[in-house]
Amino acid sequence: MTKLISIRDCDKHVNEEVKMHVWLTDKRSSGKIVFLQLRDGTAFFQGVIRKDNVSAEVFETAKSLHQEASFYITGTVCEDSRSHFGYEIQISDLEVVTNNEGYPIGNKEHGIDFLLDHRHLWLRSRRPFAIMRIRNIIYKATIDFFEKEGFVKFDAPIFMHSAPEGTTELFHTEYFGGDAYLSQSGQLYGEVGAAAFDKIFTFGPTFRAEASKTRRHLTEFWMMEPEMAWMHQDESLDIQERFLSYVVKAVLEHGQYELELLGRDSQKLEPATQGHYTRLAYDDAVKMLQEAGRDFKWGDDFGAPDEAFISEKFDRPFFIVNYPTVIKPFYMKKNPDNPKEYLCADVLAPEGYGEIMGGSERESDYQTLRQQIAEAGLNENDYSWYLDLRKYGSVPHSGFGMGFERVIAWICKLDHVREAIPFPRMINRVQP
């Protein structure tokens, strides 16, 4: 029996006869030879059919194949130094499963709206394939990292009655005659988890009804949120640095083929694996902007162009620490040395990408937190269970949130986060 293998495993079967199941991405023929560009979900490579090597029927079938035809092939794997994949297959037999005309995505330039309308098919193309594979590598590396560090995966709900990150960006839904909101962040539940399991992380979809039409905003995105009991902000920053270094290392180790498909210069990612991420004070970031003549005053939040300007100065991710309290959410702990700022940090990615993660030490004192809830104009009753965490066994604790698509966009060097998720949701798009 001929062995069924994947394209990815070609290197282990050079000069062997093998079987594969494949789809056709492109075809070229010249009299006595047909070149089939093939994919199987693991990689892309070329199949070659020579008239002299196959039956007349197989040769005619090969010539009749349409884009995205699905079929089995039998043949011999050969080294092919001309392709960057390094291998091709000399096909001896072929068995068609489906072969229909009219696949809408051709091997020509399409506009982004056309491609997004056909996202259900576009995902098969090289570029989205490479991005989703890297997404998967980052996902796996994230789980590995937190497993190694002794964290428990803890699932937060999606239907919520309270707002962790400000009430203006909530998606409302009717809930059996009452109200519920889609989760903006799993953090408050993550804090529950940390008090029960010491160190946890949540990982799931989150929703923001932000009317932001930027290259960094989705209305539905995935967030990974670790929360650590008995931990101050500095130690949380250490974890964040180790975590990002680990993730980028994993991509460089397991995603070389994908980075090449994307034309991503992997040298640019190398420094991120080395740690030593700068901890830049908010005050100093403000000075950088002012010295460059930008219109920015202390207490303003950084806009995307400000972040891009600062992040062009770094070759690896870096922290901006201790933002003014007026621009951050109610649950953060004030800096005892300067109550105008929180013990918090955002992580900005280099190459102009800006914020990819954000976190803080949490206020752990019951009365202080009550006061901060009131100051934020929130209703204490909505947070009674959250306040309970400060009544019973309260300890210093810290955490952060990683915007999954933002990290993917930076690592893959995408122009827009919409390419970092299989089915992007934005203010003007909820389908396919």
Contact footprint for ligand 4AD (CB under 6 A): 164-165, 185, 187, 208, 210, 217-218, 221, 223, 225, 355-359, 399-401, 403, 405-406, 417
405 binds, among Mg ion, ligand 4AD, none (CB under 5 to 8 A by kind): ligand 4AD
Torsions phi, psi for 180 (to 5 deg): -145, 165
CB 71 within 8 A of CB 22: yes
399 binds Mg ion (CB under 5 A): no
Q: How far is the CB of 358 from Mg ion (least distance, A)?
A: 3
Structure tokens at 279: 């901890």
- The residues, ordered by sequence, that sit 6+ positions from 359 with a Cβ below 8 Å of its Cβ are 236, 240, 344, 345, 398, 399, 400, 401
358 binds Mg ion (CB under 5 A): yes
Q: How far is the CB of 344 from ligand 4AD (least distance, A)?
A: 8
Could you tell me which stretch among 46-54, 271-279, 319-327, 353-361 binds Mg ion (CB under 5 A)? Answer: 353-361
Q: Which is nearer to Mg ion, 62 or 237 (CB)?
A: 237
Q: How far is the CB of 45 from ligand 4AD (least distance, A)?
A: 34
Q: Which is nearer to Mg ion, 156 or 356 (CB)?
A: 356
Residue in the block written with tokens 């003549």: 293
Q: Which is nearer to ligand 4AD, 211 or 292 (CB)?
A: 211
* Interface of this chain with Mg ion, residues 30 to 89, rule: CB under 5 A: none
Q: How far is the CB of 292 from ligand 4AD (least distance, A)?
A: 24
399 binds, among Mg ion, ligand 4AD, none (CB under 5 to 8 A by kind): ligand 4AD
**Residues facing residue 71 across a β-bridge:** 22, 96
165 binds, among Mg ion, ligand 4AD, none (CB under 5 to 8 A by kind): ligand 4AD
91 binds, among Mg ion, ligand 4AD, none (CB under 5 to 8 A by kind): none
d(CA 197, CA 228): 9
247-250 CB contacts, 8 Å cutoff, 24+ apart: 247/138, 247/141, 247/142, 247/145, 247/407, 247/411, 248/272, 248/273, 248/411, 249/141, 249/273, 250/137, 250/138, 250/140, 250/141, 250/144
Structure tokens at 160: 């919520």
Q: Which is nearer to Mg ion, 206 or 394 (CB)?
A: 206
Could you tell me which stretch among 63-71, 262-270, 332-340, 351-359 binds Mg ion (CB under 5 A)? Answer: 351-359
Q: How far is the CB of 90 from ligand 4AD (least distance, A)?
A: 46
356 binds, among ligand 4AD, Mg ion, none (CB under 5 to 8 A by kind): ligand 4AD
Angle at Cα 356 formed by Cα 399 and Cα 245, nearest 5°? Answer: 75
140-144 CB contacts, 8 Å cutoff, 24+ apart: 140/250, 141/246, 141/247, 141/249, 141/250, 141/251, 142/203, 142/224, 142/243, 142/247, 142/402, 143/203, 144/246, 144/250
317 binds, among ligand 4AD, Mg ion, none (CB under 5 to 8 A by kind): none
Q: How far is the CB of 192 from ligand 4AD (least distance, A)?
A: 13
Q: Which is nearer to ligand 4AD, 221 or 243 (CB)?
A: 221
Q: Distances in Å between the alpha carbon of 68 and those of 32, 42, 52, 87, 199?
A: 23, 15, 26, 21, 47
311 binds, among Mg ion, ligand 4AD, none (CB under 5 to 8 A by kind): none
d(CA 43, CA 340): 53
Which x/- pattern, by CB under 5 A, does the window 164-183 give for Mg ion? Answer: --------------------
208 binds, among Mg ion, ligand 4AD, none (CB under 5 to 8 A by kind): ligand 4AD
| Strand extents, DSSP E, 161-277 | 172-175, 178-182, 199-207, 220-229
CB 390 within 8 A of CB 366: yes
Q: Which is nearer to ligand 4AD, 350 or 399 (CB)?
A: 399
The closest residue (CB) to Mg ion is: 358
d(CA 360, CA 347): 11
- C-beta atoms surrounding 274 within 10 Å: 13
Q: How far is the CB of 304 from ligand 4AD (least distance, A)?
A: 12
Q: Which is nearer to ligand 4AD, 39 or 406 (CB)?
A: 406
Q: Which is nearer to ligand 4AD, 85 or 302 (CB)?
A: 302
Give the pairing type, strands 152-153 and 172-175: unpaired
Q: Would you tell me which residues interact with Mg ion (CB under 5 A)?
A: 358
